[in-house]
């Protein structure tokens, strides 16, 4: 569906898998929307104005929050976290880790160092260990960069779901406050098969009946 002119395109069933592979991959966009980082058998950088595209790495990982306000983005390849500078057109190594994110205000880099989720302060280089990453880590920053959330295995089993099925693999959604490491879980779910996002505009919220 086109947002600009509200027109849609129907795809035949045989084309659906190809379309999903091409358009439904993880994507990270710069704050002003000019650049996007996409994955297509490697990490690619796309200039949305000129439509030019270039390969940054032959393999790698990045999150939907990978850009800094200063025109840089963070990703990992192998077990190395790297920052790519759009102006200099080159990457520099940050350290060992995976699943990196960049806070919206550009002050923190977050990544899994293999044991904990770590926040690297910029430009001071100070590091803060947050939670254990025994079961992996995937976080989302709040728009003001004060909080981050992640989903972790844990909680009580049981409780009936739809059709009388019990939850045998519970997870909890946790929220951490960066300034003082205060944290608590806010919701328990059964399996992490859902996506949580931070609401930037409170006008989008509504009152439940």
Res 171 pLDDT > 60:
yes
Per-residue pLDDT at 170: 84
**Average pLDDT of 57-72?**
92
Per-residue pLDDT at 17: 46
Phi-psi region of 141 (alpha: psi -120 to 50; beta: other; left: phi over 0): beta
- The model's pLDDT over 81-91, given as tens digits with 9 standing for 90+, comes to 999 999 999 99
Please report, for residues 97, 200, 207, the alpha-carbon distance to residue 204 in angstroms, rounded to integers and kept in the order given: 36, 9, 10
**Average pLDDT of 31-51?**
92
- Nearest 10 degrees: CA dihedral of 64, 193, 201, 185? -100
**Average pLDDT of 138-153?**
89
Per-residue pLDDT at 16: 42
Res 46 pLDDT > 90:
yes
Please report, for residues 89, 154, 194, 208, the alpha-carbon distance to residue 151 in angstroms, rounded to integers and kept in the order given: 34, 9, 10, 25
Per-residue pLDDT at 48: 92
Per-residue pLDDT at 160: 58
- The model's pLDDT over 173-183, given as tens digits with 9 standing for 90+, comes to 889 999 998 89
Band of the pLDDT at 3, cuts 50, 70, 90?
Answer: very low
Q: Which helix (H) or strand (E) holds 13?
A: helix 13-23
Domains of the chain are 26-197 (2.130.10.10)
């Amino acid at each position: 569906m086109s947002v600009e002119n509200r027109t849609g395109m129907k795809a035949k069933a045989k084309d659906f898998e190809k379309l999903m592979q091409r358009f439904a991959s993880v994507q990270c966009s710069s704050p002003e929307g000019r650049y996007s980082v996409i994955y297509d058998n490697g990490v690619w950088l796309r200039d949305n104005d000129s439509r030019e595209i270039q390969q940054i790495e032959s393999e790698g990982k990045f999150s939907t929050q990978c850009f800094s306000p200063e025109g840089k983005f963070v990703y990992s390849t192998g077990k190395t976290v790297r920052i790519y500078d759009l102006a200099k057109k080159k990457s520099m190594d940050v350290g060992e880790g995976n699943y990196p994110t960049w806070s919206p205000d550009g002050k923190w880099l977050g990544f899994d160092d293999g044991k904990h989720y770590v926040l690297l302060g910029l430009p001071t280089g100070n590091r803060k260990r947050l939670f254990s990453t025994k079961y992996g880590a995937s976080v989302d920053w709040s728009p003001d960069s004060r909080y981050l959330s992640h989903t972790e295995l844990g909680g009580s089993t049981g409780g009936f779901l739809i059709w009388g099925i019990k939850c045998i693999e519970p997870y909890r959604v946790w929220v951490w406050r960066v300034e003082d490491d205060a944290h608590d879980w806010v919701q328990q779910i059964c399996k992490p098969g859902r996506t949580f996002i931070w609401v930037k505009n409170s006008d989008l919220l509504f009152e439940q009946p």
